Amino acid sequence: MITIKNSKEIELMREACKVVALVYEELEKVIKPGMSTYEIDVIAEEKMRSLGAIPAEKGYDVGIPGIPPYPASVCVSINDEVIHGVPSKDKIIKEGDIVSIDTVALKNGYNGDAARTFIVGKGTKEAQKLIEVTKQAFFEGLKYAKVGNRVGDISHAIGEFVWSKGYDVVREYQGHGIGKDMHEDPGIPNYGKAGRGARLQEGMTICIEPMVMEGDPYIVELEDGWTIVTEDGSNAAHYENTVLITKNGPEILTMTREEKKREGVK
């Protein structure tokens, strides 16, 4: 069921989303070669808790036998890891690595969710292009996040843009609604037909999150039950924001002022 947030709920969503933005502001300053992904996890959790939030991903249970609850505070995925990489003391970030981090903060009963992909140190032109295409795919979808449009309009815009650049999108995972629950209706695929799906309404809060791969659109789940990698070993990137649907257009809730300025977002 799609939930429409009232003004009080929207303010609570803003608070949770601000926490997520500040986590990325912190991580962008400290991430460097030689760090373990476990260190990133610790820094993110400490930042969330210092701001009165808790890491919603920690202990998240999909309810499938054999898959343990998620053991960390954030997902940290490197290079061919598309999403849900589990932080570890043994997983060390190297110069030029592509590092995607997915963060969900729960504050006052509401969730904020966003993902960012960083090049650590000096990366290749190919890595930079992958990250830029993934980010721009989000903004291509965002153009259609307006009252009266349909979910399929967002999905179509993302997929067509990514394919036009010679990349591909994950089929099995998608964006989603968000609020009291981390994942709510509607699901928002990164490809599809325009004019299909749920109609967007004022007061909806959704996560638009392109997951883009350099190579073939096939994925493999690792034995930990969480980490998703590209089947062909190609690199991947992930970019996500929580977005509020308003009568005046979409509002991104998970960006700091500095990030909005850098990305040219009002």
pLDDT single digits (tens) 117-144: 999 998 899 999 999 999 999 999 999 9
Residue ranges of domains in the chain, CATH in brackets: 7-263 (3.90.230.10)
Give CA–CA dist 109/222, Å, rounded. Answer: 32
Nearest to 9, CA basis, from 207, 252, 182, 205 = 205
Tokens of 203: 């007061």
The answer to whether 248 touches 13, Cβ cutoff 8 Å, is no
* pLDDT one-digit tens code per residue, 149-195: 999 999 999 999 999 999 999 999 999 999 999 999 999 999 999 99
The answer to whether 235 touches 243, Cβ cutoff 8 Å, is no
DSSP one-letter string for the chain: -BPPP-HHHHHHHHHHHHHHHHHHHHHHHH--TT-BHHHHHHHHHHHHHHTT-EETTTT-----TT-PPP-SSEEEEETTEEE-PPP-TT-B--TT-EEEEEEEEEETTEEEEEEEEEE-SS--HHHHHHHHHHHHHHHHHHTT-STT-BHHHHHHHHHHHHHHTT-EE-SS--EEE-SSSSSEEEEE-SS--TT-SPBP-TT-EEEE--EEESS-S-EEE-TTSS-EEETT---EEE-BEEEEEETTEEEE-S--HHHHHHHT--
**Measured CA distances, 83 to 71, 197, 239 (Å):** 15, 25, 11
pLDDT in tens, the chain (266 residues): 899 999 999 999 999 999 999 999 999 999 999 999 999 999 999 999 999 999 999 999 999 898 999 999 999 999 999 999 999 999 999 999 999 999 999 999 999 999 999 999 988 999 999 999 999 999 999 999 999 999 999 999 999 999 999 999 999 999 999 999 999 999 999 999 999 999 999 999 999 999 999 999 999 999 999 999 999 999 999 999 999 999 999 999 999 888 888 888 87
Query: pTM of the full predicted structure?
Result: 0.96
